[in-house]
Structure 1
């Protein structure tokens, strides 16, 4: 199988799994997010091979994800503060007993980073599959994925065609300012189309902001993961998706966009 066919086939499978999970049921979305959290944890351990990450960080990820799922099922409202405290305490306790705890805090720092980076997005995202009345409506989460994919695609196409000015050459030499602007424009257009062709509680200005966040947050997420990979001196975060690299390579934008959208909705 050629590399191009492999990339296309597994890319289609990845998209199909994402769409099926979020469009069928909220609990399937929780399951999908749980898998992302676990796989992402092990990829982050590889990316920090010099300092590693405590397994208490995985426990913290599961605590936040499980708390979010419990609160969703029983309709108590989202409150992750106790889970966040428990997760950090678990990491601190493991650090006390680590063999090198008296000479370095790198593993503890990486472990807290893993919880913040992975646990918050996977715990928040499934809540985007219900409206303010508690009815199932996955339009927003679907829209975020579509806008992120749209931004990535057109940032690449525009950047390859007319890109001349580097956006952040140190972390991503191929990204251009022109590509960034082009990706943003099409992400906003995608948001506009979601407003026109779907029925949701969100206004046109909301969807425009979702497009902006998908572009800006998605680009920052990509650059953040690039920094992690450059630190580890690797091209991909793993081999989870043949032809595409690791799972983090595919969801790096999503991990930044979800908390930013949640903040936007919370402020509103």
Structure 2
């Protein structure tokens, strides 16, 4: 019972913080996902150190350099929307990111006696996996003024809409997959990675997530988004969100841990909470820029 109340309380706090950060302002959106990306990045590197002990031996300047580069990349995607004096934060972010991404490999080669190229690979993988997706969500949030959202291509969507819909669709997919899997699940999906997932639950969750988006979009949402956008975004969240969940589960199995972290009582770490979004976000960004931007 104590565990139930702990999980419930932390979930309520999590939802409140997420909604507040996403809806309040562009800056709170950026700040929310900036912090999430930094914590997720550190959890990813912890997993890498458990998977490959050689990565645990990287010097402190490498650890700090990658963290600063990750923050700089997030900052770079803000473009001209925020500024420090007369200089945009996007400009500052790009310069810091470029400098640190150049210094890191040079420092490894020149300063380290036992230079291991794979360690640089792990660091770059972390930036791609845990920072770029949130940077792309920030780009969608700050540039939503150009999104043509209705069937006739008139008007613009609020900046927070697409990121929030992705999160909602992922939640619907996960919930429906659990319910369907519990009721009729028989065939293991990826038993070597996630023994509890079934094909029936996975497919059922995807179908119901897209169906829910379609029903809501058709009857209530076409003034906000054209119906095809509801369906495609739900499909992206369901398909790539599921793959993202499996990917993080695979990393945890390789590292020999149950959770990526312990930041959230009863819910694991940041990677555990956002693993689906990490893979869904880049594909949603590609769809938005290809079919929803003017």
Task: Compute the TM-score of the two structures, normalised by the length of structure 2.
Answer: 0.81
Which residue in 1 is equivalent to 2:239?
216
Counterpart position of 1:112: 124
Aligned 8 A contact 2:40 2:130 in 1:
yes
Identify if the C-alpha distance between structure 1 residues 70 and 266 changes in structure 2 by more than 3 Å, giving closer, same or farther: closer
DSSP-derived class of the 2:264 partner: coil
Residues 27-176 of structure 1: pairs in structure 2 closer than 5 A = 27-49=27-49, 50=53, 51-52=55-56, 54-55=62-63, 56-73=65-82, 88-97=101-110, 99=112, 101-102=114-115, 104-129=116-141, 130-132=144-146, 136-176=158-198
Between the aligned partners of 1:40 and 1:266, the Cα distance in structure 2 is: 25
Distance 2:131 2:96 in 1: 10
Greater CA drift, 237-246 or 104-113: 104-113
Residue equivalent to 2:13: 13
Shift in Å, 1:106: 2.7
Q: CA RMSD in A?
A: 2.6
2:131 aligns to what SS in structure 1?
helix
The yes-or-no answer on 1:231 pairing with 2:254 is yes
Corresponding position of 1:245? 268
Query: What are the ranges of 5 or more consecutive residues in structure 1 without an aligned counterpart?
Result: none
Which stretch has the larger CA shift, 135-144 or 35-44?
135-144
Contact preservation (8 Å) 2:261, 2:268 = yes
CA contact (8 A) 1:187 1:215 kept: yes
Describe the superposition over 1:3-46 as per-residue Cα deviations: whole angstroms up to 9, x where unpaired. Answer: 11111110111111111111111111100011011111221222
| Structure 1 residue 196, shift from structure 2 partner | 3.9
Cα separation, 2, equivalents of 1:190 and 1:91: 47
Residues 220, 83 of structure 1: CA spacing in aligned structure 2 closer, same or farther, 3 A cutoff? farther
CA shift, 1:238, in A, is 0.5
Shift of 1:201: 5.8
CA contact (8 A) 1:91 1:111 kept: no
For residue 82 of structure 1, report the CA deviation from its aligned partner.
7.6
Counterpart secondary structure, 1:251: helix
| Pick aligned residue for 2:204 from 179, 182, 207 | 182
Farther-moved stretch of structure 1 (240-249 vs 181-190) = 181-190
C-alpha deviation, 1:228, in angstroms = 1.2
Segments of 5+ residues of structure 2 without an aligned counterpart are: 148-155
User: Which moved further from structure 2: 196-205 or 213-222?
Assistant: 196-205
Distance 2:264 2:124 in 1: 26
Distance 1:84 1:265 in 2: 25
- String of CA shifts for 1:217-255, please: whole Å, max 9, x gaps: 111111111111111100000101000011110000011
Q: Residues 50-82 of structure 1: CA distance to partner in whole angstroms, max 9, x if unpaired?
A: 2247422212211111111243337x9x99988
